[in-house]
Structure 1
Amino acid sequence: AEQVSGGGYDVVWKNSANGHYSVWSTDSSGNFVTTLAAAPEVLGSDPTLKALEPTLQQDLNGDGTIGVPIASPVTIEALGSTSVVVSGGNYYLTNISTGVGPTLKYQGNVVDTANYTTWSVIAAEQVSSGGYDVVWKNSANGHYSVWSTDSTGNFLTTLAAAPEVLGSDPSLKALEPTLQQDLNGDGTVGAAPTSGDGFAFDFTQSGASLTAPSEPPDFIPAPADPWTASDQWTSPADSHGTAAIDILADFLQARHDFDFQLT
């Protein structure tokens, strides 16, 4: 127990049967007023119990630390101009050049990673308005959510087609160039080219690049040899011409003989 600034006391109970804790708040006469922590009975690992340890000036749950342990900062991603850093259970949207940036907030309150269970931030980038686009991913079902925040990191609205979308959603893919990364892991930053399209954007380079068509072009036969072609056309003409002359000669000879007989 410890007397607090209001004159009352914070009193910690522990259940020896299950190891659970309960924290009372009393008035100055020691009379119970309410329970503290997240619930009337909490586990030793509960963050709200750990948060009360500095007030009680002792390691209540025996984890070797008074208060919530401060983990070393972890950089989630550092593409573009903004990096996402987790420190002390909070997300920092840090300018890579200056090392300064706001914490991510919802309704003015700093986002606590412990309150978002299977959701975690995987990417963020400052946009032209001064605010940030922040991408969340749910590790349980693979869904995504994209926040738009103001310049202080406070949530304004969700982007994409809905507050929660699949990785294949075109509206999520359309945001990838802004975030400068392949969010859904399909191997393409932005919308993939349509089938048969021989042009694709490569956002990892300085510009666009051409890719090979998905199918080879139709076979185009070589042009005919002019000499061979000439032979093919002139030879039949010569043979037909000779035959015609022979027939005409026979006809004239027969006519001549016929006329001769008449005279």
Structure 2
Amino acid sequence: MSHAIKRILDGNAVASRIKEQLAPRIAKLAERGVTPCLATILVGDDPSSATYVRMKGNACKRLGIKSIRVDLPASTTTEELIDAIGQLNEDKAVHGILLQHPVPHHIDERAAFEAIAIEKDVDGVTTLGFAQNAFGYADYPSCTPAAIMAILAHYELPVRGRHAVVIGRSPILGKPVSAMLLNADATVTTCHSRTENLADLVRLADIVIAAVGKPNFVQGGWIKPGAVVLDAGYNPGNVGDVDYEACLAKASAITPVPAGVGPVTIATLLKHTVDAAEKFGA
């Protein structure tokens, strides 16, 4: 893999392309009297979660997607949250449901995720959605993994036969992106907090996916010359999981933070909502 030319993988450009392709589809739905609708549930008042929800709502508005915001107090019980999700499942005008995570600690987050109807699981958080993704036929794979694959495809970066190292094994990021890379014929190593000799494993990678939630965690000395680095982390102060300048010096292509994976994740959520409206819109 040549590393003479460095490419900054511009997530805003990829997101814009996705949204451009959505506009005529949304217009066609409007002719049928259908407005794609995403319901977002926020439990409690975590400031960063509130910011994410607001960003998603604004993105919907700009594209002509209806956004319903359900705000629940931090004292909400698991049962009350599941009941709220059940009401949205029953609402035929709602095409996608997003439960903003993390939820307060006393709530059983997995039980809440499982309450989302599969046809409205546009964020890819249910175990059924995960299983479908692993088998390669999910309608709505988890949005950040799908965004990573969209960036690789947009920039025509080869995946087949390449060695991808994923750092992180969360059920909505590390594990599903590992499955998607495997389905795209990459050889995948999934690393985590118990992995030994992590730096040595990362040095073998043609593609590095950082998804650990630790600022500047991935060091430049870990990167094989010419590797492709995708930073799915977002930490306070607009800092990713990758030491950007140090990794840029070694990589052939890299996503910045911000303006890398993040905008494509939101665009993917909007795409899944439009997909669901086309499939299930009245």
Which is richer in strand? 1
**Greater C-alpha Rg:** 1
TM score, norm. by length of structure 2: 0.24
Query: Which structure carries more relative contact order (alpha carbon 8 Å, separation 6+)?
Result: 2
Which structure carries more helix by proportion? Answer: 2
Q: TM-score, normalised by structure 1?
A: 0.25
